[in-house]
Structure 1
Amino acid sequence: MLKKLSYITLFALTLVSCSDTLDDVNKNPNATETPLAPYLLTGSLKQGADLYWGADNNFNSSLLFVQHWAKIQYTEPDRYDVSNTTFTSLWNTGYATLITDLNTIINFPAAQANSNYKGIALTLRSWTFLLLTDAYGSIPYKEAGKKVTPSYDPQWDVYTGLLDDLKNAQSLLSTSNGAVTGDLVYKGDITKWKKFVNSLRLRIALRISDQEPALAKQAAIDATTDAAGVLGSNSDTFKFTYISSPQQNPASAWFETRDDFRISKTMVDKLYELADPRLPVFAQLPSDASVGKYVGGGNGLSTSAANDQGFAKTSKPGTYFLTSSSPAVIASYSETLFNLSEAVARGYIAGDAEQLYKNAITASLNQFGITDATVIANYLNQPTVKYDATNYAKSIGTQKWIAFFGQGLDAFAEWRRLDYPVLKAGPATVLDGKLPLRFFYPGTEQSLNGDNYNAAVAGQGKDLLTSRLWFDKK
């Protein structure tokens, strides 16, 4: 009931009295004249989850790029036949809604928002900026929300700035700094927010590790030695849990009226190869019972070739991801363990990289409801799954790619960084056999912020899907 009431308050309207003045006539009757921190926080969490888990940035783009899902009709996105109007949602909602509302909380006087609200808002703003720079590269950061035509900051400046912002967020968060309401993720549990902050710091440390190893090492040390710790169990996972329509999981809403996605053949084949117990969670059996096994859809096919695979003979993504209340996982315990394993493998922190790798896989299996100790042990003991200390990027990259199933934006970032698994473009793709390495900037940036857009492109490289970003060192 509390969760439902929170959703109701999210959309509560401020009543305005009628008058004969022109000012009152021109008022927006749906606008909140005095925004409240709990409402803004609730809205930011819901809108952020929708942005991360919804069609535009997830299953109709990044999930296709990393070959988690595939298109069985309307295959243009799966063939990378897209334009600079395709990726506007992440940019527009990220800046105009999320960052704007979170800045409002950050700038509130203490009487309107205690420091815990401000620390949470700064954390969520940092996460939003991280999504933006991972996807586009250089982005407005320092001047975002301060100028109509903000300049773009190079990716190095964004990442290092976010490390500072998260350090500041950590200092603002304290169990003694006042209660927080409107928090639909951690229910105001500041100890969990502090763990999430450190886990984001560790994520960013690894993002910059190939370009700035010394700075990455220090950031990893700072994140893992902070007294608050990092995500320590699946109960710490940062996820937004949906409810019933109209506040349902975006993928669930999509599949209520459309049938144009399948789980990717690349993923199904890998899960079969590894005898992975997550396969029945990630996929549904084809509706044609005579098929009798999971069958993925090919990526990068023409519409006719995709249709020819057979709607009834291919597997939809699992119902775990398509029910109304399916959660939008944003930062999992499993990911944090993989990151700790890699930080050890790189020599940044002390620990047992192999054991952390095993723990990460176990956490992912548990996350998806697989808890049988024998099943887990058998899986971990396979030669194809065992940790390879001579090529940690392959071991971690492959298993992290599986564990990130459904989290397209982060799966896309980590696949580019670690270069595993090795993916191949489909036969009808339009990038000369290459796969996308970034999102296009929205076309409106050229017309509304042209000088700064041109400067960013001149410094970063052409505004193409195949332009390699700074963090993605070859």
Structure 2
Amino acid sequence: MKKITSLLILAALFVGISSCDKGFDELNVNPTAVTSLNPVFTFNNAIISTAFPASSLIFEHPIVQQMYSPNSGVLAGGNFNVDNRGSAGPNAALWQGYFRNNIRYLVDVLNQTKNDANRSNLYNMVRIWKAYSFMVLTDSYGDIPYTEAGLGYIGGNTAPKYDTQESIYNDLIKELTEASAALDAAKPTEAGEVAYGGNIPRWKRFGYSLMLRVGMRLSKVNPTLAQSTVQKAVAGGVFQSNADNAVVRNDANYQNPVGVTLNSTEAANYYLTGYFVDYLKATADPRLASIAVRYVGAKSGPEQVAARIDRTPSIQIGMPLGYDNGSIPARAAADKLASFYDYSQLDRTRMGKLTAPTYLVTYAQTQLLLAEAAVRGWTTGNAADYYNAGVRAHMQQLGDYDATSLVSDANIATYLTANPYVATKGLELINTQYWVASFLNGPEVFANFRRSGFPKLTPNPYPGKEIKGNFINRLTYPDLEISVNKAKVDEAIARQGADNLDTRVWWDKQ
């Protein structure tokens, strides 16, 4: 009997244990935890990470002579026409930021949505944004990973092959053609995305405006393909106003990388160039009052205080090129300034502030490209009308940085009357205005300068340059990329040319 009782107790214990095990898995799952991430949130991360890195202040802006630093070391680059590599050099910032974040996020979303009929609009929005991102990368470096890019954590490919820039551009045209046409307002519109809030007509106009840019980029290397691409873009429907601008809306949580640099460690180290300021002054351009500021009489960085601020256009003095930290003090004295801290800077309380938007593709740029297309006979319409619309749009766009930066309609009219479009100088006028309208979009202003040859800049006279030509033609591949993907990088170099600042990208033909 005692044995039977013991067996019954043991059986009861097993039943109890079995009963306790029922629902064990459920008890160990947090009912409020996220088990899957809506891909639109990943897409938003990609959009935010498209804002240009602060390295554009080291390379692109000095190359096109808009902003400049006389300092060497970590700030050396376009200011002295030298490379600046190293494992985390400024030549790597765009590469690392885009491939590590932007491209990786975009490829992930494409992988999640490609077979989901309910997310077809999201899928095609991502294709358009991916085309933009890869255009920035290939324009900056030349041949890059494209077809195998972003597959490291999806397919385990950590050594992607490099595609030729020509093949990349051919695919960009295909992607933009297909994705722009496939967007459909009758399907779920993805109101949660932060670029256009799911507005399908604006997404379509973005896709076709980007296609216009792609087409115009090919004007020297393949005019036939350039013309057909431009015509396809115009037929699809490009931007109609500044409301269509493709822009990253930086805020207190996702600050503008350029603004962060200009308001912290390098606040006193970057200046508007003499060429840029003098051009705006010579044409009485009202945008100078929106862009520039002088801390009059400042003898040091700490003396650049609000009490010294003067935004009067007539007193702005841009820093001349060709000087370094050792030689600029004497030049500043010759210019009758208190020190080099007295030269004009980008106003970091307005256009250069922490929350300043980052413009990617704009109505102003689009109208100016249409003006050039009209000059070339690739589209209908009057080049002068497109030109005037582009200039006007950029002046109005400045009000988006700060209400006090807006150029009034009266000042716009005065400027256009005093600086009319002249057909005999059409390409120069159009692309010089594109240079101004693309200010703070480092990759684009650098690319269009190489493509068009305008504005006609005098080469930086700094004596210590590393380049053989007059201007830097591309960014070099980062050392970190070479260390982890050397075989594929070497293949690209053998095909494209030496990995230096002189080698031209495919579309940049002399």
In the superposition, the TM-score normalised over structure 1's length comes to: 0.86
* Contact 1:186 1:193 (8 Å CA) reproduced: yes
CA distance in 2 between counterparts of 1:155 and 1:170 reads 22
* Contact 1:38 1:181 (8 Å CA) reproduced: no
Matches within 5 A, 1:296-307: 296-307=318-329
CA distance in 2 between counterparts of 1:253 and 1:442 reads 23
Identity score, percent = 28
| Cα displacement (A) at 1:314 | 0.9
Q: Are residue 283 (structure 1) and residue 292 (structure 2) matched?
A: yes
* Contact 1:221 1:349 (8 Å CA) reproduced: yes
Q: Alignment partner of 1:405: what SS?
A: coil
Which residue of structure 2 lines up, in the alignment, with residue 203 of structure 1? 213
CA deviation map 1:27-72 (0-9, x unaligned)? xxxx9863321210211111112xx2x312x222211111111114
Residue from 66, 69, 85 that aligns with 1:68: 66
* Contact 2:47 2:248 (8 Å CA) reproduced: yes
Q: Alignment partner of 2:327: what SS?
A: helix
* Contact 1:267 1:296 (8 Å CA) reproduced: yes
Instruction: Summarize the Cα distance change of 1:358–1:398 in structure 2 as closer, same or farther, 3 Å threshold.
Output: same
Instruction: Summarize the Cα distance change of 1:156–1:398 in structure 2 as closer, same or farther, 3 Å threshold.
Output: same
Which residue of structure 2 lines up, in the alignment, with residue 133 of structure 1? 138
Which residue of structure 2 lines up, in the alignment, with residue 427 of structure 1? 462
| Cα displacement (A) at 1:410 | 0.2
80-89 or 215-224: bigger deviation: 80-89
Letter in structure 2 aligned against 1:151? K
CA distance in 2 between counterparts of 1:63 and 1:123 reads 26
CA deviation map 1:264-296 (0-9, x unaligned)? 111101111111110011111333259971111
182-191 or 39-48: bigger deviation: 182-191
Structure 1 gaps of 5+ residues are 1-23, 25-30
Q: Alignment partner of 1:243: what SS?
A: coil
| Cα displacement (A) at 1:119 | 1.0
| Cα displacement (A) at 1:307 | 4.9
Q: Alignment partner of 2:144: what SS?
A: coil
CA distance in 2 between counterparts of 1:172 and 1:108 reads 18
Q: Are residue 237 (structure 1) and residue 245 (structure 2) matched?
A: yes
| Cα displacement (A) at 1:428 | 3.8
443-452 or 394-403: bigger deviation: 443-452
Q: Alignment partner of 1:185: what SS?
A: coil
Q: Alignment partner of 1:117: what SS?
A: helix
Letter in structure 1 aligned against 2:60? S
The Cα RMSD (Å) is 2.4
Instruction: Summarize the Cα distance change of 1:157–1:428 in structure 2 as closer, same or farther, 3 Å threshold.
Output: same
From the CA coordinates, give the structure whose radius of gyration is larger. Answer: 2
* Contact 2:271 2:346 (8 Å CA) reproduced: yes
Which residue of structure 2 lines up, in the alignment, with residue 187 of structure 1? 197
Instruction: Summarize the Cα distance change of 1:429–1:366 in structure 2 as closer, same or farther, 3 Å threshold.
Output: farther
| Cα displacement (A) at 1:111 | 5.3
Q: Are residue 397 (structure 1) and residue 431 (structure 2) matched?
A: yes
Which residue of structure 2 lines up, in the alignment, with residue 461 of structure 1? 497
Which residue of structure 1 lines up, in the alignment, with residue 92 of structure 2? 88
Residue from 92, 100, 105 that aligns with 2:104: 100
Which residue of structure 1 lines up, in the alignment, with residue 422 of structure 2? 388
Matches within 5 A, 1:3-152: 34-49=36-51, 52=52, 54-56=53-55, 58-74=56-72, 75-77=75-77, 78-85=79-86, 86=89, 87-109=91-113, 114-146=119-151, 147-152=157-162
Residue from 440, 449, 452 that aligns with 1:406: 440
CA distance in 2 between counterparts of 1:161 and 1:38 reads 24
* Contact 1:302 1:428 (8 Å CA) reproduced: no
CA distance in 1 between counterparts of 2:378 and 2:102 reads 33
| Cα displacement (A) at 1:333 | 0.6
* Contact 1:36 1:112 (8 Å CA) reproduced: no
* Contact 1:239 1:331 (8 Å CA) reproduced: yes
439-448 or 326-335: bigger deviation: 439-448
CA distance in 2 between counterparts of 1:433 and 1:335 reads 28
CA deviation map 1:414-444 (0-9, x unaligned)? 0111111122213244135622110001123
CA deviation map 1:184-239 (0-9, x unaligned)? 2212212111100000000000001111111111111111111xx21110111111
Q: Alignment partner of 2:381: what SS?
A: coil
Letter in structure 2 aligned against 1:143? E
Instruction: Summarize the Cα distance change of 1:350–1:299 in structure 2 as closer, same or farther, 3 Å threshold.
Output: same
| Cα displacement (A) at 1:373 | 3.5
* Contact 1:71 1:306 (8 Å CA) reproduced: no
CA deviation map 1:290-311 (0-9, x unaligned)? 9971111223422222355324
Matches within 5 A, 1:149-188: 149-188=159-198
* Contact 2:263 2:353 (8 Å CA) reproduced: no
Instruction: Summarize the Cα distance change of 1:185–1:290 in structure 2 as closer, same or farther, 3 Å threshold.
Output: closer
Instruction: Summarize the Cα distance change of 1:105–1:172 in structure 2 as closer, same or farther, 3 Å threshold.
Output: farther
461-470 or 106-115: bigger deviation: 106-115
Letter in structure 2 aligned against 1:267? F
Instruction: Summarize the Cα distance change of 1:429–1:406 in structure 2 as closer, same or farther, 3 Å threshold.
Output: farther
Letter in structure 1 aligned against 2:105? D
